[in-house]
Amino acid sequence: MAKFNLSAIMADLRNRIPGFSSNQYASLDTASSTVDIAGDDEPRDTPWGARNRRLLKMATLALAAVLVLYMVFGYGFDHYRTHPEFRSSHLWGQYSPFFSVPSTIDPMVPAGCTVTFAQVLSRHGARDPTFYRSQAYNATIAKIQASATKFGKGYEFLKDLGYTLGADQLTAYGIEQMLEQGRVVAELYGHLADDALPFIRASGQERVIDSANNFARGFYGQLVAGEGRTVPDEEEYLSSILILPEHGGFNNTLDHGTCTRFEKGPDSELGDETRNAFADKFTPPIIKRLHENLGAMGFTRDDAIAMMDLCPFYTVANPQANISDFCHLFTHDEWKSYDYYQSLGKFYGYGNGNPLGPTQGVGFVNELISRLTRRPVDDHTTTNTTLTGSPKTFPLDRSLYADFSHDNTMVSIYSALGLYNGTDPLPVSERISPRKAHGFSASWAVPFAGRIFVEKMVCSPADDELVRVLVNDRVVPLQGCNADKLGRCKLGKFVESLSFAREGGYWHRCFEEE
């Protein structure tokens, strides 16, 4: 089955059309350039588009014509007309493959500005289900094959489907995601490695370590291929990556686990409880349809969610990320609800909806402040003072840093940064779009290979240092620091705005008795 890969199309176009050049921010889009947003009918525009509407229209029409011709003659029109599921791949919650999120502020570096510092924080690439989930999915398929009394239209593939998913590890597609991310970062920030190589860390789970390794391969490979730079050999740069263990008792800012009340306290199940309440509202029609097509097997809410989960997991298990047959079993509107279901889990499990969620990200934010200001780390939460006290394991003389983590901890870090302070508590009674949630959703924030770039820049003729944040290529307007129209704050004001992190969040509550 063919796959609509905009990056591949654009790359092919660049090879076919003389003078065709890429934008500074390359897209790693895995499905299509259209991001369908639940309930989002609000008009959108960018400052650049507002000032250059005529030029934008002409360029858009020209590119659209080329793309249409390319799709018709290169891929086949019928495939695109009959496969709306490509739009749904941006609605798979944290299991969505990375895509560039739409930004109302131009993500290009503003004219006259130079990026002098960049912090990359990335989720690992696409993976197989966790071991527990993989067992559960296998059991669901076995249950269907043992008990189904019929296989309706579109469900026939389930009859002989062999369960082929592994557990916990990066897929081949996930490896390629991280190689590509390394290439993109080299294109954007390679100049920051002129004087000192990037400092890279990874949380200690194998898929995170593998993601960091493949990012490094992509980064250094692009420096050689793109600029002919001399770089360390692979053994040297891979061995320089610092691994932060995830076992109990080791402070690790890239993986939550040391705040007892958060892990085991009264709010530790809040994320699951909230999203399950929403699932109870949107899964009954799905359960009914499963019974109609497979027989009265006693499907439950959790079975319906498991069947939806298998769509992204079987998709990313394919090296080309071909859309799985599981994806055809659900409507586009149901995928919108699925994305919101996953967003509720993240918001109330690890974000602002959980009393101790943002506190789990405080340690990393204080490390970020240290790197931005080149001052020693001041933190008493999850930082490891042995590591942060040594220039070998926490250098402050670099201009480019890259850290690799998990989706849950990244939601806590984003929350500790205040990126979603404008997001009201997500309702369970209705589904709202990411835009109406001020940019918060699982797919917009932490897809497979999702990343945040924190940039420091200077812009002539002023000499002020400005901070800008991009989450999956979307410029997030900073709050509480007098941000300018491009979403940036002066460095000093930005650090002042992080008082929640600088004061330790609610870490003092982590070890309170029930």
**pLDDT digit string (tens) for 115-158?**
999 999 999 999 999 999 999 999 999 999 999 999 999 999 99
Burial status of residue 270 (CB atoms within 10 A of its CB: 0-12, 13-18, 19 or more): buried
For residue 462, what pLDDT is reported? 87
- Contact (CB, 8 A) for 327 and 85: yes
What pLDDT is stored for residue 47 in this prediction? 44
User: What is the set of domains in the chain, with CATH numbers?
Assistant: 130-147+158-506 (3.40.50.1240)
Of 28-37, 84-93, 224-233, 327-336, which gets the smallest average pLDDT?
28-37
Highest mean pLDDT among 30-39, 62-71, 271-280: 271-280
Query: Tokens 């921010």 map to which residue?
Result: 25
Model pTM score: 0.85
* 37 band by pLDDT with thresholds 50, 70 and 90: very low
How far is it, in rounded angstroms, from Cα 208 to Cα 354? 25
> Which residue(s) pair with 170 in the sheet?
127
> How far is it, in rounded angstroms, from Cα 206 to Cα 225?
28
List the alpha helices (DSSP H) in 325-375. 332-350, 362-373
Strand 465-471 relative to strand 199-203, pairing: unpaired
Strands 465-471 vs 451-459: parallel, antiparallel or unpaired:
antiparallel
**Residues annotated as catalytic (active site), given as ranges:** 124, 407
Residue 419 CA to residue 353 CA, distance in Å, equals: 14
* Residue 249 reports pLDDT greater than 90: no
CA triplet 184, 110, 62: central angle to 5 degrees?
A: 70
**Which pLDDT band, with edges at 50, 70 and 90, does 225 fall under?**
confident
Looking at residue 86, its pLDDT comes to: 56
Q: Percentage of residues in the chain with pLDDT exceeding 70?
A: 83
Angle, CA 203 vertex, CA 199 and CA 204 arms, to 5°: 120
Residue 400, H or E segment: strand 400-405
Residues of 14-39 as b/e, b for ≥16 C-beta within 10 angstroms? eeeeeeeeeeebbbbbbbbbebbbbe
CA 390 to chain centre: 31
Q: Secondary structure of the chain: what % helix, strand, coil (to 5)? A: 45, 10, 45
